[in-house]
Chains A and B, each alone.
Chain A
Amino acid sequence: MRLEPIANPTLARRIGLPAVALVLTVIAASLLALLAGANPFATLGLIVQGAAGSKFALLETLNRATPLIFTGLAAAVAFRARLWNIGAEAQLYAGAVVTVLLGTGALGLPAPLLLPLLALAAMLAGAAILLGPVLLKTRLGVDEVVTTLLFNFIMLLFVSYLLEGPMKDPMGMGWPKSAALIPEARLPRIVTGLRLHWGFALALLAALAVWVIQTRTTLGYEIRAVGLNAEAARFAGIPVNRVMVKTALLSGGLAALAGFSEVAGLKGNLTLDLSPGFGYAGIIVAMLALLNPLGVILSALFVAGVFVGADSMSRAAAVPTYIADILTATALLTMVLALRLTHARVRWR
């Protein structure tokens, strides 16, 4: 078989194929439910209800979407330049560590000064974590996929060391967790009484900022050029390596904001289970959004909804919560295939 490019895909093709991908994902969910001996319709219903069926569920989904928007943006920015940053998990923890380091009393500033400072410091830490792999890539040609992946494991061990050693909460009854942030370092709730913090608003703002960078600035243009064809970009006088490094700093910084917002907005301290794989899920979020920064918001809400919904469903039905991971991975694979088929026709022979 052979693929034949389609220059101008019809609207039906553009909408129909991604819709087929979604249908396939739903079918996969139904099969898994059947396998677990549950009613597929009831299971799907419970997932939707658990994700958006009540004010509480909806807020939970928005809360879960917040770190996913940040890590999704981190992946979207990097992948656009064909920089494969798979290390958002490590950058997230770097941001969290710095937030705790400076937010537990080391800086005695009022909240309006302290919070932006913490966010900025977190971003710098995340950017610094990605600087190593990207320099190894541009200077020595070391593949960044493997180095960023391996950094995730190193970082997690480092955080484990910090939480059992220098950053361990003396009042923590022996649990490996950090001391709590001072009140000035906590992101307040958007509406009093509702469990949704300003991290969510910051995430929306970040998505908007990335969109502006990508569509309205020289850097955005350069990032796209490097991603489309690095050779041609170099030939056109774009400093490819410098663009790569700038992209990495932006991407690492965005991922670190997820750590900042989880600690300062939701948890109030640092534990080793701060992120249940937000870094990896961010890759799915970015791909489902076609690397579009504003699309990231929607796809993060979708992925967060699947996870929150599955959590709540598995409490009621005997379907393991890992169904959410299978679903998002299926959505990713079917969606990239659907997009390919939007722009190419299969010819047998």
Chain B
Amino acid sequence: MDLFDILLNASFWAAAVRIASPLIFATLGELICERAGVLNLGIEGIMVAGAFAGWMTVYLGFGLWTGVLVAMLVGMAFGFLHAVLTVPFGLSQHVVGLGVTLLATATAYFAYRLSLPEVTSPPKIEPFQPLEIPLLAKLPLIGPAFFAQTALTYLAFALILAVWLLLYRTPLGLAIRAAGENPASVEAQGLSVTAIRMGAVIAGSGLMAVGGAFLTMSAFSSFFFEMVNGRGWICIALVVFGAWRPGKAALGALLFAAFDALQVRLQQTPMGAVVPYQLFLMVPYVLSILALILMSRRAEVPAALMMPFNKGER
């Protein structure tokens, strides 16, 4: 009974799309990195840094889009650090990624405490407002879900197509995919694996940071500690779930977000009074693990993922 009420409510679908948006940004970012052959475990920290940088920029009086740009640049800076250490130097992508996550998170927290030492309740900014698309927004269920969201959500959905076009319809995309499958073939084409991989990691990290910025600039309007709360790790699972394809990964993010929106609403039902709320909050993490298990047999992992490439070495 309750379940149907929830599923037929437009606000549920709108929430699902809203929850999916930051995941789509970050998942696409991780996907670009991994298609080029680099696992970027910096994602969690880069999202925190992006969330902080975007929010702080707006808090200091700049425009919302300036905030998005600053978040992206901060993400790209951490991406550059990750890329330098893992690509030309070929260091362990696990260790560097976790190191970048710790560094980016700590830097954001440090900067937050430094700029707002006395604050107990986090200050708010004026976030992105929903933009209703005429006519379409009036459609039942789908209208509020897809056509009455903030500009950043529209951007996230446009990016799915853009990343797909990039990867499958441009020479650059072919080079990125080749760098992740067979880097020697890229070198044989006279292209630089190092340049392609570094570019992919830097660009992908920029997207992760925008995903983080979505949280502070479109979803919550303030920055607080632990706000990313494992979303980065979930995105890594979503890339696997989506078999390293942008469309499937984004669909996974939507599906996942729908479950997340559902668990929040189920907490309000009579069932929520009986089942401890922590069990509901576990749902996203458990689902991510299940998604990994489900896809394990069919995974089409990029063949050169996590394999450093050193020119002239066999």
Contacts and interface: CB of A to CB of B under 8 A. Distances in A.
Interface of A: 1-3, 32, 35-36, 84, 86, 136, 140-143, 145-147, 149-154, 157-158, 160-161, 164-165, 280, 283-284, 287, 318, 320-323, 325-326, 328-330, 332-333, 336-337, 340-341
Q: Which 7 A-B pairs have the closest CB atoms?
A: A325-B106, A320-B113, A329-B103, A161-B278, A322-B110, A329-B102, A140-B296
Contacts of A154: 282, 285-286
A142 B102 contact: no
Contacts of B292: 136, 142-143, 146-147
Interface stretch (B9-17, B63-71, B92-100, B122-130): B92-100
A3 to B, nearest CB: 6
| B109, B117, B285, B296, most chain A CB atoms within 10 A | B285
B311 A340 contact: no
A322 to B, nearest CB: 4
Given A136-B293, A154-B285, 4 more contacts: A32-B110, A147-B292, A157-B282, A328-B102
Interface string B172-188: 00000000000000000
B8 interface: no
Contacts of A147: 289, 292
B288 interface: yes
B88 A1 contact: yes
B279 A35 contact: no
B91 A336 contact: yes
A157 B281 contact: yes
Contact of B278 (A84, A143, A157, A336): A157
Nearest to A166: B276
B280 to A, nearest CB: 9
A165 B278 CA distance: 11
Given A325-B109, A337-B89, A146 B279 contact: no
Contacts of A284: 99, 102
A146 B110 contact: no
Nearest to B236: A146
Interface residues of B, number: 49
A280 B233 CA distance: 14
Nearest to B88: A1
Contact of B276 (A3, A86, A165, A322): A165
Interface string B70-109: 0000000000010001001111101110111011011101
B134 interface: no
Contacts, number: 128
Nearest to A320: B113
A321 B237 CA distance: 32
Contacts of A318: 117
Q: Identify which of A32, A158, A323, A333 gathers the most chain B CB atoms within 10 Å of its CB.
A: A333
Nearest to A133: B289
6 contacts: A32-B110, A142-B293, A146-B288, A154-B285, A165-B276, A341-B89
Given A142-B292, A164-B276, A320-B113, A336 B96 contact: yes
Contacts of A35: 114
Contact of A36 (B85, B109, B114, B279): B114
Contacts of A150: 230, 233-234, 237, 285, 288-289
B312 A2 contact: yes
Contact of A146 (B102, B237, B311): B237
B95 A332 contact: yes
B167 interface: no
Nearest to B308: A3
A222 to B, nearest CB: 21
Interface string B288-299: 110011001101
A46 to B, nearest CB: 16
B114 A320 contact: yes
A37 to B, nearest CB: 9
Interface in B256-311: 276, 278-279, 281-282, 285-286, 288-289, 292-293, 296-297, 299, 310-311
Nearest to B103: A329
Contacts of A336: 85, 91-92, 95-96, 99
A165 B292 CA distance: 31
Nearest to B92: A336
B120 interface: no
Contacts of A330: 103
B232 to A, nearest CB: 9
B30 to A, nearest CB: 11
B69 to A, nearest CB: 23
Nearest to B41: A145
B37 to A, nearest CB: 15
Most buried by B among A149, A160, A164: A149
B189 interface: no
B229 interface: yes
A337 B91 contact: yes
A19 B286 CA distance: 43
A153 B230 contact: yes
